[in-house]
Amino acid sequence: MTLFLSHRGESDDAPENTLKAFALAMERDSDGVELDIRLTRDGEVVVVHDGNLKRVCGIDADVASSTLGRLRSLHPVPTLEEVLALMKPGKHVQIELKGSDSGLPPGLKRILDVWPGERKMLALSSFEEETIRRAALYFPDLPRLLLTDLEQKFGRFPSAGEVLAYIRSLDATGVSFKAAFSADRPFVDELRRLGLRVVCWGVSSDELGLAMARAGVDALTCNHACALRKKFR
């Protein structure tokens, strides 16, 4: 059954990538969450999407050149450890590694190596091909999903075989593609038959999200995942 993951937490009803948004996802019994991580200047792994806080709080503050304390003086930026501590047993966590900072995978490894939760509930993702390759060195046991817009990448909607060749060339184990009505059940079934984990993002409407769930993706990310799951099931 398709997992409905709360994208940056239940971010339609709480500020994205904040403890409030993730706590709300747990309160609503979401299947799990999707979140984004970056490194601060002082080496903290923080949960934030953009490289700058301008969009979320209106203040120009670069994450990579700021300390955790400086960021928190402007916006409630959580650390990854704090978010993981909120997760209830049996909840999935998809962690997107943002950017191409070579220090991020080892920083993440330090956290996950001591996290008491079940590693089978974790998955990693990135838009950066080199980050995915690097993640394979640090996390050979975890699902590693390339985030991509398939139509943009191939100039058309590709076959399952073309997607497999591309994903395997990066030492990834799955794909998280931009949701599209072209991704029908036979396409998803073939990707899964070929051994890939299949996830989608960019669910711009409930109609599109429901179509992806009917197509049988392993998981989809949505800002109101719990409400969409209720509508589907």
Instruction: Give the list of residues 6+ apart from residue 109 with CB closer than 8 angstroms, or none.
Output: 138, 139
| Whole-angstrom distance, CA of residue 23 vs CA of residue 27 | 6
Question: What would the pLDDT profile of 58-80 be if each residue is shown by its tens digit?
Answer: 999 999 999 999 999 999 999 99
Sorted by where each begins, the domain ranges of the chain are 3-39+88-232
Residue 99, pLDDT score: 84
| Whole-angstrom distance, CA of residue 124 vs CA of residue 197 | 11
Just give the CATH number of 3-39+88-232: 3.20.20.190
Residue 100, pLDDT score: 84
Q: Which stretches of the chain drop beneath a pLDDT of 70?
A: none
Single-letter amino acid code for the residue at 52: N
| Whole-angstrom distance, CA of residue 50 vs CA of residue 45 | 14
Residue 101, pLDDT score: 87
pTM for this entry: 0.97
| Whole-angstrom distance, CA of residue 194 vs CA of residue 161 | 8
